[in-house]
Chains A and B, each alone.
Chain A
Amino acid sequence: MFRRSLLPLALLLPLAASAAPPAATARYQIEIRNFHFLPARATVPVGAQVTWTNRDEEPHIVVSTGNRFPSSPALDTGDRYRATFTTPGTYTYFCSIHPQMVATIVVR
């Protein structure tokens, strides 16, 4: 049983690797500090993984205007949230509990 279950997995691995090579994933960091997303406008390549980190004592939430990428849960101090952008476009997002906090990610 062990060998039989292992075999299909071994066959699948190269296919998955060729579809999304891990080494090519661009990673970007956005800080949430003093009630601002920094940088307020980030330009990233298609496929980029963006990580938000909350540096405030207040919780914040990352919410896409028009729900174009999944919203984060409440981010307490030090919490992180990641989203991957696979489609080119301009993504506006804000904090739904401090809506004066608005920022943009441009995917090219």
Chain B
Amino acid sequence: MNDRNDDDQVPQRRRFLECMAWAGAGAVWAMKGGIAHASALGAGNAASDATFRFVQISDSHVGFHLAPNPDPVATLRETIARINAQPQRPDFIVHTGDLTHLSKPEQFDTVKQVLSEAKVDRVFFIPGEHDVIGDNGKAFFDRFGSGAGGGWYSFDHRGVHFIALVNVLNLQAGGLGFLGTEQLAWLRQDVAGLSGSTPIVVFAHMPLWSLYPQWGWGTQDAAQALQPLKRFGSVTVLNGHIHQIQQSVEGRVMFYTARSTAYPQPAPGQGSAPGPLKDLPASQLRAHIGLREVRHVRGSQAIAVTDSALA
């Protein structure tokens, strides 16, 4: 995915890019028959057509203690309260990594305690690179792991196949996010028996598209992960890591990066480095952090995505 300028060749991509302007203000996204549709929040009844919904949160960085958010536990707790206040309870929450800032046991325990306040049946987790420091993820997997070998897993929920990938281990000097041959082989096997009409939702911490490799915002073997997914009519990839909303499309694969519940990072290439936007005034923090609701649209393969800031 490095050809964002040749949208004239792909009508649905041009349509998609037109829609991108909506994203910052809070938009409802849906993909039907390969064409992306967007409408402003509250503009239609899209929210009522879901067979089920779940919530994605990401990058809580518990243990971070500097500007622009010296208390990420408080903003995580606000996020959970926001989820609990929704009129319709989500089927589950997925946290797409960087639960903690430094992988410390007490930081993981705090996350676990705050998330226990969520009124949902289940919370799914995948690790970010901040969750695997010093122990290859042992402290993370002990508390939040699926019990499987490498930490990756899949499950089916109401007709949608969910795949949770780990792309933050065994990172190599000069490289990006990394899946590895064992996980890629598992993925090919995992989807081999599925009908092409099964909607697929993939969770990963780092982007599975080449978003901004200079800042490490990509996954070096992502193309090999996407190859066995190309035959499916609806593939939605949800990730975190970059603490802001970015979207892309490649064939029938839609990519969405989520906001953090803690602090935003600069837009790709703006400034000298990634990292917390430390000059953000406290009064503006909550406009840049939040959560994402994801819905399976009734009677179709479509997955619709709505991002909400805390303020």
| CB proximity to B under 8 Å, residues A67-107 | 73-74, 76-77, 92-94, 96-100, 102
- Complex Cα spacing A58 to B216, Å: 14
**Quick one: given A74-B102, A77-B66, A98-B216, are A57 and B275 in contact (CB under 8 Å)?**
yes
| CB proximity to A under 8 Å, residues B231-284 | 272-276, 278
A35 interfacial contact with B, CB 8 Å:
yes
Point out the residue from B101, B173, B176 that lies within 8 Å of A92, measured CB to CB: B173
- Residue contact B175 to A99, C-beta cutoff 8 Å: yes
A56 interfacial contact with B, CB 8 Å:
yes
- Residue contact A97 to B274, C-beta cutoff 8 Å: no
- Residue contact A59 to B101, C-beta cutoff 8 Å: yes
- Complex Cα spacing A106 to B269, Å: 31
Chain A residues near B171 (CB-CB < 8 A): 96-97, 99
- Complex Cα spacing A98 to B214, Å: 11
A61 interfacial contact with B, CB 8 Å:
yes
| CB proximity to A under 8 Å, residues B159-183 | 168, 171-176
B60 interfacial contact with A, CB 8 Å:
no
Which chain B residue lies CB-closest to A65?
B173
Point out the residue from B101, B174, B175, B275 that lies within 8 Å of A56, measured CB to CB: B275
| CB proximity to B under 8 Å, residues A46-72 | 56-59, 61, 65
Point out the residue from A34, A35, A73, A99 that lies within 8 Å of B176, measured CB to CB: A99
In the complex, what's the smallest C-beta–C-beta distance from A7 to chain B, in angstroms? 43
- Residue contact B133 to A34, C-beta cutoff 8 Å: no
- Complex Cα spacing A58 to B176, Å: 17
Interface size in chain B (residues, C-beta < 8 A): 28
In the complex, what's the smallest C-beta–C-beta distance from B213 to chain A, in angstroms? 8
Chain B residues near A99 (CB-CB < 8 A): 171-176, 216
Which chain A residue lies CB-closest to B278?
A57
- Residue contact B66 to A59, C-beta cutoff 8 Å: no
B105 interfacial contact with A, CB 8 Å:
no
Chain A residues near B132 (CB-CB < 8 A): 97
**Quick one: given A74-B102, A99-B216, A100-B215, are A35 and B172 in contact (CB under 8 Å)?**
no
B129 interfacial contact with A, CB 8 Å:
yes
Which chain A residue lies CB-closest to B220?
A99
Q: B130-158 toward A: CB 8 Å interface, digit per residue (1/0)? A: 10111000000000000000000000000
Which chain A residue lies CB-closest to B216?
A100
- Complex Cα spacing A74 to B216, Å: 18
Given A34-B273, A96-B171, 13 additional A-B pairs, CB 8 A:
A35-B215, A57-B66, A57-B67, A59-B101, A59-B133, A61-B133, A74-B102, A76-B102, A92-B173, A96-B133, A98-B216, A99-B171, A100-B213
Interface residues of A (CB under 8 A from B): 34-36, 56-59, 61, 65, 73-74, 76-77, 92-94, 96-100, 102
User: Could you list some 5 contacts between A and B, CB below 8 A?
Assistant: A57-B67, A57-B278, A73-B133, A74-B102, A99-B172
